[in-house]
């Protein structure tokens, strides 16, 4: 029950709205800003001047439009100057990027992460990437913050990684360790990889026109990033979206979490490899091998893909009934599994989801691919700047 804002708060809100608009949409004419934000030309002019003075946007002539008349000036985010560091700790990959305002990847590093590598060994590798990229940052650049995507449960309050069963971590203060390694004051914000992938696809990916989306991310583990009514669903502590531990099969396998028949046990990497008779293998390449073998007609691989696809559809139908989303996105290695088993998924959805809940739902693969987690981590890092540009600008 907040009261309306003061004059100064309104100005800050307007600055944030304008900066966020060009951050999301890129170069935008003053005319479009005027109509989209519902402010008059002189207000847009004043706001743009303030943001330009702070080095966050610049104005310039548009590209040639071919139309007659004086063209409207174009406002662009300072993507080459204003940047964040975005890191991602996946089960199999470590990645780091320097991301410019507007979501431009300016620089990046990455390596395969050997499964089982602890936080003590992981964080220095990421810190080294950051230091390396930092050396070639142009002199007049402005660092606004950092974000980390982690394949684990992240406490919203302080970014503590509570549990990351598939990296083997529990109660790890990743952001603190990272800041200590770098010797930087400004803390890194931490989020879950599925949550941040959902955010990125919502801001600049396949779900920009969607306000109710579920991004199901899968590799060894399964988790979802959920956006409901246009806002990320985080839950009380920040742990919402643990759909991998929705029990779907009371007669199913024991799950690593201690329960039985979790969705993760039926559709995760192990389930596919086991069904395909390749339980000794692991990792995304092994999953791809099964999907490829199925495409080439290998009967056992086909049966495995069908079985996992059937359970994939089973769980998606549940989520469609619970959330009534307009978009479901399949990311991580689930992307490949979904493409190979779309018929099973659709069939389960039709049989199990209520007509009203599924009538507008679109099943999609990510537009941003594996960059989604990094771009989402960058959004986390930019958030403070976008909420209050002049206060947060260093």
Closer residue to a copy of itself, CB minimum distance, 246 or 303: 246
Phi and psi angles of residue 243, each rounded to the nearest 5 degrees, phi first: -70, -20
Q: What is the nearest approach in angstroms of a copy of itself to the Cβ of residue 204?
A: 13
Question: How far apart are CB 125 and a copy of itself at their closest, in Å?
Answer: 26
DSSP 164: E
Q: Which is nearer to a copy of itself, 17 or 105 (CB)?
A: 17
Q: Which of 133, 161 has the CB closer to a copy of itself?
A: 161
For residue 164, give every residue at least 6 positions away whose Cβ sits within 8 Å of its Cβ, in sequence order, or none: 150, 151, 152, 153, 170, 172
Judged by beta carbon, residue 80 or residue 211, the one nearer a copy of itself is: 211
Q: Is the dihedral of CA 165, 170, 175, 180 positive or negative?
A: negative
Tell me how far, at minimum, the Cβ of 153 lies from a copy of itself, in Å: 5
Distance, CA of 375 to CA of 387 (rounded, Å): 18
Q: How far is the CB of 155 from a copy of itself (least distance, A)?
A: 8
Beta-carbon contacts of residue 345 (< 8 Å; ≥ 6 apart)? 309, 312, 313, 316, 338, 363
Q: How far is the CB of 211 from a copy of itself (least distance, A)?
A: 8
Instruction: Give start and end residues of each alpha helix (H) in the chain.
Output: 7-25, 30-37, 41-53, 119-135, 174-182, 193-204, 263-267, 269-275, 284-295, 299-323, 334-340, 342-352, 355-358, 372-387, 389-392
For the bound state, the minimum distance from the C-beta of residue 39 to a copy of itself, rounded and expressed in Å, comes to 5
Measured CA to CA, the distance from residue 141 to residue 382 in angstroms comes to: 15
Q: For residues 230 and 394, which CB has a smaller minimum distance to a copy of itself in the complex?
A: 230
* Rounded least distance, CB 11 to a copy of itself, Å: 7
Contact residues toward a copy of itself (CB under 8 A) are 1-5, 9-14, 17-18, 20-21, 24, 36-39, 153, 155, 162-163, 211-212, 228-229, 231, 233-243, 245-251, 257-259, 314, 317-319, 321-326, 351-357, 359-361
**At its nearest, how many Å lie between a copy of itself and the CB of residue 244?**
8
DSSP string, 289-357: HHHHHHHTT-HHHHHHHHHHHHHHHHHHHHHHHHH--SEEEEEETHHHHHHHTHHHHHHHHHHHS-HHH
Q: Which is nearer to a copy of itself, 179 or 327 (CB)?
A: 327
What are the distances in angstroms from CA 104 to CA 11, 14, 86, 129, 187?
Answer: 27, 23, 11, 18, 22
- The Cα–Cα gap between 259 and 391 comes to 47
Nearer to a copy of itself, 278 or 358 (CB): 358
Nearer to a copy of itself, 14 or 302 (CB): 14
Ramachandran angles phi, psi of 127, nearest 5°: -60, -40
Q: With respect to a copy of itself, which residue has the nearer C-beta, 179 or 192?
A: 192
Least distance to a copy of itself, CB of residue 104, Å: 19
């Amino acid at each position: 029950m907040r009261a309306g804002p003061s004059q100064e708060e309104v100005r800050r809100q307007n600055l944030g709205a304008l900066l966020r608009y060009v951050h999301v949409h890129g170069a935008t004419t003053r005319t479009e800003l005027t109509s989209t934000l519902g402010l008059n030309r002189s207000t847009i002019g004043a706001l743009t001047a303030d943001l330009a003075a702070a080095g966050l946007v610049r104005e310039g002539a548009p590209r040639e439009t071919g139309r007659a008349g004086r063209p409207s000036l174009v406002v662009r985010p300072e993507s080459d100057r204003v940047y964040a560091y975005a890191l991602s700790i996946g089960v199999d990959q470590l990645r780091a990027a320097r991301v410019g305002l507007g979501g431009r990847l300016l620089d990046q590093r990455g390596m395969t992460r050997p499964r089982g590598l602890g936080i003590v060994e992981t964080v220095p590798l990421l810190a080294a990437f950051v230091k390396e990229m930092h050396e070639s940052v142009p002199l007049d650049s402005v660092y606004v913050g950092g974000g980390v995507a982690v394949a684990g449960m992240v406490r919203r309050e302080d970014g503590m990684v509570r549990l990351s069963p598939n990296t083997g971590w529990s109660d790890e203060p990743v952001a603190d360790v990272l800041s200590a390694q770098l010797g930087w004051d400004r803390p890194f914000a931490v989020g879950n990889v599925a949550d941040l992938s959902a955010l990125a696809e919502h801001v600049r990916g396949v779900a920009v026109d969607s306000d109710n989306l579920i991004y199901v991310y899968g590799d060894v583990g399964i988790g979802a990033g959920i956006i409901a009514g246009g806002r990320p669903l985080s839950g009380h502590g920040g742990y919402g979206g643990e759909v991998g531990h929705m029990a779907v099969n009371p007669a199913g396998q024991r799950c690593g979490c201690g329960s039985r028949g979790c969705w993760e046990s039926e559709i995760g990497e192990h389930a596919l490899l086991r069904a395909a008779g390749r339980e000794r293998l692991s990792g995304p390449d092994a999953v791809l091998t099964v999907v490829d073998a199925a495409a080439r007609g290998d009967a056992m691989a086909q049966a495995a893909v069908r079985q996992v696809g059937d359970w994939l559809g089973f769980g998606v139908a549940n989520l469609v009934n619970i959330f009534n989303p307009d978009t479901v996105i399949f990311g991580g290695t689930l992307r490949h599994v979904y493409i190979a088993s779309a018929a099973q998924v659709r069939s389960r959805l039709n049989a199990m989801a209520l007509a009203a809940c599924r009538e507008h739902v679109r099943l999609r693969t990510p537009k941003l691919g594996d960059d989604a987690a990094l771009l989402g981590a960058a959004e986390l890092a930019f958030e403070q700047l976008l909420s209050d540009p002049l206060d947060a600008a260093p």
